[in-house]
């Protein structure tokens, strides 16, 4: 599905990605982990074409994405910070995104699921962070696309919404989709991820299944495993 | 009874006159088959009735008091050989002729009709085309040039002549003529007490009206439009100019009117519209400008050199790029109660007169005089700022030049 | 692109700023006409205002909109839409809504006061065309500045500087160089300098109409050709169009290479 070779990206003097090679062929859920500033979001944005890499190539379904845009029809993206045009109403925003895609959606079902009904006629600027994130999730999951990229999807969610989100992710997984997710909540990762990619200082430090990670670090849960990796790396 | 006696005497008078003044027919098949022959056959006070036709003649000399009257505009064709009609006798009338093809010369000023040292002439309803000079009045007083049409096709100044020219001729009336496409439409030199009225002088190469050394003349109701350099009035005294229109005289040295060494003139109720310079004034004193309209000119009034004791009052200055331009800091002229469309003051006591004096001279006009290219910066914000600061404290422009009583409304429509 | 344009335009039409702008012009038109009660004079005053204010408003509005719609832009960037369509659509949305406010805001009072019967209608139309061009140009310039500057304060600062430079300082330098080099033939220089500044350019277009009598007073042959024939009008209009396209082209070029 996604093939990345020799990806480099600098922001000014700050080298964020230093040669990422990545091949995600499997269906299922891939978690991208790493400390702050390790390049997770940059990597995701590169895949989406929002960040233009300095070097390297990204191919999706065998085609390079450079200067392309149509491939995004196959990707659902949940941005990290839910920033929306403030003076739009929720309903209008959903309508607009639907209008831009011209594809069938199941937005009503999702609105029900997250209890957004009372907010539909409110302006986005008046919503709380968590409600915005729910809107964000609705916008992401309402289409039926083979690939889903989620950047910190749990931010600001209440427990109930978090459960719904996990269900959604599981549901999409069973539909045979490829799901890329970043998160700081290790429990969440442990629960949903099939595979883990650990980024450190712009490089892939670990790639493998959750079990492989635990085995390698000899830890019982992901949280400790990650902590161990980070510790080791600082000694390296 | 009285009226009957008057009638009888009138009839007697007409009969006796009729007996003396004969009418001589001139036509291609007549005994007089040319104008020249007609004149030769005629005696004093006869009328030559010239029938419709073409008369190829030039150097026709009218040497006795005759009336040459055309019927249906007979054509007198000079075939470019020289002067066509020369009047050397008093009391001659030329009426209703179509005169064409005056010869062009670099040594003699050939004219379609020339009047030399003769009194009481009348030239009317004449049409002139393909001419060099049109009507040339030379040392002849007390005449009238009425309702003629002079259509030239002048291309260059050096080989073209003037439409109507007066030279040392006083007490002449020039009325309702149309002059176009010649060098100077109407030209006067050393001619006093002349009345120029209701003429239209347009599209001439040089000046619509040009006069020098001619005093006590009156100009009213004329239109001067689209002439090469407008109207030039020079070295003359006591001129009266009323109700004339000066329009669309565009170009480097073009103006509605040029006043040079003019003293004691009255310039009332004229309209100056869309000229590069409305009035260009040089060395002219004691002139009263009153009730004139200056509209959409580049410069409404440009004052060069010493001009003293002129008065500008009740004029409308409307949308000119520059209202007044001075090339010195001295001012001895009075501006009072004019309407300035650029005036931005207020009238708190509602007496129709602005409470703040208006300064019609902008710094920018001074700059443009110095560096003409700067004209492209006209109406730019930077210029407005500079003009404003100059307005507040004049450095380059005359500091005593302002209209203390600017009108809030146009002085007239 | 048209969808983006539609949404941006729609978005702006609902924002109070468009109304402020519209009401400002409406008030300006009425006040001018009320004070002068003469369409011709109001057109001249209006010209002075338009060539200064329209660029300023276009600049401020453009920067403001660009920064304010950052979220919208980021949302769109993840959608299957071409980047150039996103920016072109937003740009046109802003420029069109500003132009519409200008046209309606000034058009309504003037039409009410009898513009259609007045001889000033051509001058007025020219003024509005100029205003529209200036809006397009300065919105594009401000988009350019905002795109390159992540920092809002910097972006605002630079935009105002650009406006100040083109509206005032440029003419000051221009005037100074004309006076300093007055012994040399300067007509070609002054025409070129005029073409290089969109504000001067649109001012010239209006001068051609209002002050042709004065412009023809100058001797230079180049001037004469430029102002005395239709050449001036054609060249000025063409350059204005170029002035509109260049910043838009640069905007799209830069946007294509920018990281979000």
Q: Domains in chain A, please, with CATH? A: 2-235 (3.40.50.300)
Whether B373 and C218 lie within 8 Å, measured CB to CB: yes
Beta-bridge partners for B61: B86
**Residue stretches of chain C with pLDDT short of 50:** none
Interface pTM, i.e. ipTM: 0.84
The pLDDT score that the predictor gives to residue B2 is: 53
The pLDDT score that the predictor gives to residue A9 is: 87
Domain for residue B118, yes or no? yes
- Which residues in chain C have their CB less than 8 angstroms from residue B296's CB? 210, 213
Which residues lie closer than 8 Å to C54 by C-beta, 6 or more apart? C102, C131, C134, C135, C138
User: Distance (Å, rounded) from C-alpha B40 to C-alpha B57?
Assistant: 14
Query: The domain that contains B155 carries what CATH number?
Result: 2.160.20.10
Give the minimum alpha-carbon distance from A78 to chain C in angstroms, rounded to a whole number.
9
Pairing of strands B143-146, B172-175: parallel
Tokens of C174: 């221009």
What is the tens place of the pLDDT at every residue in B10-21?
555 555 554 467
User: For the purposes of burial, counting CB atoms within 10 Å of the CB of C157, is it exposed (0-12), middle (13-18) or buried (19 or more)?
Assistant: middle
State the pTM of this model: 0.81
User: Distance (Å, rounded) from C-alpha B240 to C-alpha B225?
Assistant: 19
Give the best-scoring range by mean pLDDT among B42-46, B103-107, B196-200.
B196-200
The pLDDT score that the predictor gives to residue C77 is: 84
Segment (H or E) for A200: strand A195-200
In terms of residues, how long is chain B?
413
User: Distance (Å, rounded) from C-alpha B208 to C-alpha B181?
Assistant: 10
Collapse the DSSP code of C185 into the 3-class scheme (helix H, G, I; strand E, B; otherwise coil) and give the result.
coil
For residue B398, what pLDDT band results from cuts at 50, 70 and 90?
Answer: confident
The pLDDT score that the predictor gives to residue B266 is: 95
Structural domain harbouring B223: 20-227
Task: Tell which B residues from 279 to 338 touch C, by Cβ distance under 8 Å.
Answer: 296-299, 318-319, 321-322
B and C touch per CB criterion (3+ pairs under 8 A): yes
Domain for residue B369, yes or no? no
The pLDDT score that the predictor gives to residue B76 is: 93
Domain for residue B100, yes or no? yes
**Residue stretches of chain A with pLDDT short of 70:** 82, 232-236
Q: With an 8 Å Cβ cutoff, is B372 touching chain C?
A: yes
User: Distance (Å, rounded) from C-alpha B239 to C-alpha A210?
Assistant: 111
User: Distance (Å, rounded) from C-alpha B361 to C-alpha B375?
Assistant: 15
Collapse the DSSP code of C16 into the 3-class scheme (helix H, G, I; strand E, B; otherwise coil) and give the result.
helix
Domain for residue B287, yes or no? no
Strand order in the sheet with A147-151: A75-78, A147-151, A178-182, A28-33, A195-200, A203-209
Q: For residue C76, what is the nearest residue in chain A, using CA coordinates?
A: A97
**SS3 per-residue string spanning C55-113:** HHHHHHHHHHHHHHCHHHHHHHHCCCCCHHHHHHHHHHHHHHHHHHHHHHHHHHHHHHC
Which residues lie closer than 8 Å to B76 by C-beta, 6 or more apart? B35, B55, B57, B60, B84, B85, B97, B98, B99, B100
The pLDDT score that the predictor gives to residue A235 is: 44
Collapse the DSSP code of A231 into the 3-class scheme (helix H, G, I; strand E, B; otherwise coil) and give the result.
helix
Q: With an 8 Å Cβ cutoff, is A72 touching chain C?
A: yes
What is the tens place of the pLDDT at every residue in B62-93?
999 999 999 999 999 999 988 999 999 999 99
The pLDDT score that the predictor gives to residue B5 is: 65
Domain for residue B294, yes or no? no
* Residue B239 CA: distances (Å) to CA of B287, B316, B326: 9, 22, 24
Q: With an 8 Å Cβ cutoff, is B383 touching chain C?
A: yes
Q: Which residue numbers of C have CB closer than 8 Å to B's CBs?
A: 40-41, 44, 47-48, 51-52, 167-169, 171-172, 174-175, 178-179, 182, 186-187, 189-191, 193-194, 199-200, 203-204, 206-207, 210-220, 223
Q: With an 8 Å Cβ cutoff, is B375 touching chain C?
A: yes
- Confirm if C133 and C202 have CB atoms less than 8 A apart: yes
Helix/strand/coil percentages in chain A, nearest 5: 40, 25, 30
Structural domain harbouring C29: 2-256
Q: What integer is the mean pLDDT of B155-172? A: 90
Look-up of token digits 């100077």: B184
All partners of chain B with 3 or more CB pairs under 8 angstroms: C
Among B170, B172, B171, B174, CA closest to B185? B174
Tokens of C155: 């972006």
Please name the member of C71, C81, C257 whose beta carbon is closest to the beta carbon of A84: C71
Q: For residue A70, what is the nearest residue in chain C, using CA coordinates?
A: C80
Q: Which of A16, A50, A54, A146 is the best substitution to test chain C (most C C-beta atoms within 10 A)?
A: A50
What is the tens place of the pLDDT at every residue in B358-371?
988 888 888 888 88
What is the tens place of the pLDDT at every residue in C174-210?
999 988 988 888 888 888 898 899 999 888 888 887 7
Among C132, C134, C130, C107, CA closest to C39? C107
Burial A128-143 (b: 16+ CB within 10 A, else e): eeebbbbbbbbbbbbb
Among B400, B391, B397, B282, CA closest to B342? B391
In terms of residues, how long is chain C?
260
Whether C213 and B381 lie within 8 Å, measured CB to CB: no
Whether B377 and C175 lie within 8 Å, measured CB to CB: yes
Pairing of strands B111-116, B133-138: parallel
Please name the member of C189, C207, C217 whose beta carbon is closest to the beta carbon of B379: C207
What is the tens place of the pLDDT at every residue in B190-221?
999 999 999 999 999 999 999 899 999 999 99
Q: Total domain count for chain B?
A: 1
* Residue A75 CA: distances (Å) to CA of A28, A71, A144, B368, C240: 14, 7, 9, 66, 42
* Residue C74 CA: distances (Å) to CA of A85, A169, B7, B42, C86: 10, 24, 108, 105, 10
Q: Total domain count for chain C?
A: 1
Residue B260, pLDDT above cutoff 90: yes
- CB count, 10 Å around CB of A215? 12
């Amino acid at each position: 599905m996604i093939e990345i070779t020799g990806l480099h990206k600098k922001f000014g003097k700050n080298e964020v990605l230093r040669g990422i090679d990545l091949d995600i062929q499997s269906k299922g859920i891939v978690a991208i982990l790493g400390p702050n500033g390790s390049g997770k979001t940059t990597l995701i944005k590169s895949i989406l074409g929002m960040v233009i890499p300095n070097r390297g190539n990204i191919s999706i379904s065998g085609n390079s994405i450079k200067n392309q845009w149509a491939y995004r029809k196959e990707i659902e993206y949940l941005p990290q910070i839910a920033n929306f045009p403030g003076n739009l109403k929720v309903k209008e925003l959903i309508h607009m995104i639907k209008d831009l895609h011209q594809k069938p959606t199941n937005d009503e079902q999702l609105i029900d699921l997250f209890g957004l009904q009372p907010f539909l006629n409110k302006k986005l600027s008046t919503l709380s962070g968590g409600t915005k994130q729910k809107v964000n999730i609705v916008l992401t999951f309402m289409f039926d696309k083979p690939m889903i990229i989620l950047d910190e999807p749990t931010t600001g969610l209440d427990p109930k919404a978090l459960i719904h989100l996990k269900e959604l992710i599981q549901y999409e997984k069973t539909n045979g989709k490829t799901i890329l997710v970043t998160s700081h909540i290790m429990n969440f990762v442990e629960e949903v991820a099939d595979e883990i990619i650990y980024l450190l200082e712009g490089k892939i430090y670990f790639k493998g299944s959750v079990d492989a990670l635990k085995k390698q670090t000899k830890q019982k849960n992901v949280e400790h495993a990650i902590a161990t990796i980070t510790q080791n790396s600082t000694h390296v | 009874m009285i009226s009957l006696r008057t009638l009888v005497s009138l009839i007697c008078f007409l009969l006796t006159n009729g007996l003396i003044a004969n009418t001589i027919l001139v036509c291609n098949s007549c005994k007089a088959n040319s104008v020249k022959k007609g004149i030769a056959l005629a005696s004093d006070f006869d009328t030559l009735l010239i029938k419709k036709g073409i008369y190829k003649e030039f150097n026709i000399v009218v040497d006795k008091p005759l009336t040459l009257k055309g019927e249906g505009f007979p054509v007198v064709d000079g075939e470019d050989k020289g002067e066509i009609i020369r009047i050397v006798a008093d009391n001659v009338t030329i009426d209703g002729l179509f005169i064409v093809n005056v010869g062009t010369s670099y040594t003699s000023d050939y004219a379609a009709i020339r009047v030399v040292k003769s009194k009481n002439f009348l030239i009317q309803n004449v049409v002139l085309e393909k001419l060099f000079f049109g009507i040339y009045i030379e040392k002849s007083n007390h005449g009238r040039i009425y309702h003629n049409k002079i259509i030239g096709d002048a291309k260059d100044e050096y080989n073209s002549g003037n439409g109507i020219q007066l030279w040392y001729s006083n007490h002449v009336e020039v009325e309702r003529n149309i002059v176009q496409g010649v060098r100077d439409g109407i030209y006067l030199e050393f001619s006093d007490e002349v009345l120029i009225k209701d003429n239209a002088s347009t599209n001439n190469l040089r000046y619509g009206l040009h006069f020098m050394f001619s005093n006590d003349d009156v100009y009213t109701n004329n239109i001067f439009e689209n002439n090469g350099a407008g109207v030039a009035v020079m070295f003359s005294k006591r001129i009266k100019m009323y109700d004339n229109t000066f329009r669309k005289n565009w170009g480097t040295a073009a103006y509605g009117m040029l006043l040079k060494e003019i003293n004691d003139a009255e310039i009332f109720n004229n309209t100056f519209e869309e000229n590069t310079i409305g009035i260009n004034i040089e060395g002219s004193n004691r002139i009263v400008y009153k009730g004139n309209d200056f509209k959409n000119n580049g410069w409404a009034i440009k004052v060069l050199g010493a001009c003293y004791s002129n008065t500008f009052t009740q004029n409308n200055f409307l949308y000119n790029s520059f209202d007044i331009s001075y090339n010195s800091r001295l001012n001895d002229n009075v501006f009072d109660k004019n309407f300035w469309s650029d005036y931005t003051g207020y009238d708190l006591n509602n007496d129709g007169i602005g409470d703040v004096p208006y300064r019609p001279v902008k710094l920018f006009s001074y700059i443009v005089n110095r560096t003409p290219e700067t004209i492209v910066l006209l109406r730019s914000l930077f210029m407005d700022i500079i003009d404003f600061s100059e307005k507040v404290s004049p450095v380059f422009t005359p500091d005593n030049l302002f209209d203390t009583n600017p009108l809030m409304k146009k002085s007239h429509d | 692109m048209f969808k983006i344009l539609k949404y941006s335009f729609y978005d702006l039409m609902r924002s109070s700023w468009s109304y402020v702008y519209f009401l400002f012009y409406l008030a300006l038109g009425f006040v001018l006409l009320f004070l002068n009660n003469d369409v011709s004079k109001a057109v001249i005053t209006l010209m002075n205002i338009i060539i200064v204010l329209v660029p300023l408003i276009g600049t401020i509005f453009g920067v403001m909109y660009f920064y304010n719609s950052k979220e919208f832009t980021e949302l769109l960037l993840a959608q299957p839409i071409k980047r150039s369509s996103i920016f072109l659509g937003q740009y046109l949305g802003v420029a069109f809504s500003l132009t519409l406010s200008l046209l309606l805001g000034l058009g309504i009072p003037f039409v009410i006061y009898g513009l259609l019967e007045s001889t000033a209608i051509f001058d007025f139309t020219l003024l509005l065309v100029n205003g529209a061009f200036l809006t397009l140009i300065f919105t594009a310039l401000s988009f350019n500045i905002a795109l390159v500057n992540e920092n809002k304060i910097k972006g605002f600062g630079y935009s105002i500087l650009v406006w100040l430079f083109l509206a005032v300082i440029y003419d000051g330098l221009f005037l100074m160089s004309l006076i300093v080099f007055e012994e040399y033939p300067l007509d070609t220089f002054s025409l070129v300098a005029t073409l290089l500044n969109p504000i001067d350019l649109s001012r010239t277009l209006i001068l051609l109409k209002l002050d042709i009598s004065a412009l023809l007073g100058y001797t230079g042959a180049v001037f004469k050709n430029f102002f005395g024939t239709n050449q001036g009008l054609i060249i000025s209009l063409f350059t204005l169009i170029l002035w509109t396209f260049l910043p838009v082209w640069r905007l799209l070029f830069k946007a294509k290479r920018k990281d979000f």
